[in-house]
Amino acid sequence: MPCRAAIILLCLSPALPLAAQTIAQASAQTSPTTKPTTKKKPAKKSKKKVRIPKVRHYPPPRVSAKVRAASLQKVAFQLDERPDPVIDRPGTLVPFFERLYRLSIGESPTVHILHFGDSHTASDDWTGVLRDLFQSRFGNGGAGFSLAGIPFKGYRRFDVRGGASKDWDPAGLRTGEGDGLFGLGGVSISTERAGQTIYLDADCASVELDYLQQPGGGRVALSDNEATVQETSTEGPLAPGFLQYATVPGRHRFEVRTLEPAPVRLFGWVTENPKGITYESMGINGAEAALIGRWDESMHAAYLKRRDPALIVLAYGTNEATDSKWSEAGYLEKFSAILQRLRRAVPAASILVLGPPDRFTRVKGHWRPYEGVDRIVAAQQEACRQNRCAYWNTRARMGAEGSMISWVMAGLAQGDYAHFTSLGYQRLASVLFQDIMRQYESYLKVRPELASQSTDEQTSQDH
């Protein structure tokens, strides 16, 4: 068990008894495997810089040891008071739970979880702990997908370490500007210069480089621990590109080097082990859920199908709550479109939406609850109801509106009253993991009955 996950589990209060509940069986469809095509040409490299909005940094308030202890106690009490239901429509997670079960008994070698989100995801504090906890229970399947290089300040993964030479141009990011050909994570890096490199340090048994195959694309070389192992050309009709290499299990430094002055566009790495679970975080600072709609659907669907996720997690809403352009009805329509798009790409995957956390804004020198959170939560909940997705209300799980004050005073959230500290993200991840596992344990209790019903139905059809 990773050290961080072990510490978190030891610090948690004893789990409450499982609530008796029956989870409805959800049907899973098989995703088509046809290779998508697109007539879109890659956009030419633009020298225009993406405007980065100014962010005001507020220091955490000074509090006494007594206030901090009382706030920590209040947060612990709020986390123990779980809302009912703690996860809306848990029955929609049955396909995910079934794949977890098959992984646990050795019938399935790997399970993939893809987590898309904003800055709460990009830092990997939240998702890193979720990764540790899932892998501690179900096995370490590797890092899965990670972005190429360090495409923006604030991007981080705790399970791998990457970097790049200086002459790469990022595209996509929080604005989605460009031709939409950004791969799985909504971000690409490009160059037309020879001798440019990216690297990744990872523990794995195989590696894959995801890139854009394009007319006139340049050649690249892949090295493993300083030894060149493959060379390939990225030239060809516009399509998703993959460079795969199987190696010995263990620690590796992979490097990709451009070999000629020709266009090369990279999306990211996939590093895996033969068995276990991957928790693949793809967060972009400042992102809103609507950003996914700016990614080329055929290209994105191709990479989604290739990852074959058992669960897709969406964690958006913090930035939408501060964006006046979103009405509840408008956001409901846009968010539903994103859910439906993901369903089209990978219909067998379960979808879990994590609502935005509680948030405050500074008004005339005083911190006030952000009213926009209400309309975003309501729209997300309705979109999940209409599209049969599970929903975890982060703000309600924290302790409802106004709870962010206690998290800040406890040292679990930052002075901007929007983001958490590392300890805060760890607490939030631990609670989410426990809530998911309670539903999973409930599913295991009713699974024999569901399996028996399925067998009886099949027998009736045969006769």
pLDDT of residue 40: 52
- Is residue 101 pLDDT above 80, yes or no? yes
Within 8 A by CB and 6+ apart from 371, the residues are none
pLDDT band at 11 (very low <50, low <70, confident <90, very high): very low
pLDDT of residue 20: 34
Mean pLDDT of 130-155: 96
Mean pLDDT of 380-388: 98
- Is residue 48 pLDDT above 60, yes or no? no
pLDDT tens track for 151-195: 999 899 999 999 999 999 999 999 998 999 999 999 999 999 999
Mean pLDDT of 238-248: 97
The tokens describing 145, both together, are: 């997908």
Choice between 333 and 27, residue whose per-residue pLDDT is larger: 333
Q: What structural domains and CATH numbers belong to the chain? A: 60-141+275-449 (3.40.50.1110), 145-274 (2.60.120.1360)
pLDDT band at 420 (very low <50, low <70, confident <90, very high): very high
pLDDT of residue 358: 95
> Do residues 202 and 252 make contact, with C-beta atoms less than 8 angstroms apart?
yes
% of the chain with per-residue pLDDT over 90? 76
Mean pLDDT of 379-406: 96
pTM of the model: 0.87
pLDDT tens track for 274-323: 999 999 999 999 999 999 999 999 999 999 999 999 999 999 999 999 88
Mean pLDDT of 208-234: 98
Choice between 342 and 59, residue whose per-residue pLDDT is larger: 342
pLDDT band at 19 (very low <50, low <70, confident <90, very high): very low
Q: Which of 71-75, 83-87, 207-211, 376-380 has the lowest mean pLDDT?
A: 83-87
- Is residue 104 pLDDT above 50, yes or no? yes
> Do residues 45 and 265 make contact, with C-beta atoms less than 8 angstroms apart?
no
- Is residue 366 pLDDT above 70, yes or no? yes
pLDDT band at 34 (very low <50, low <70, confident <90, very high): very low
Choice between 252 and 43, residue whose per-residue pLDDT is larger: 252
pLDDT of residue 457: 60
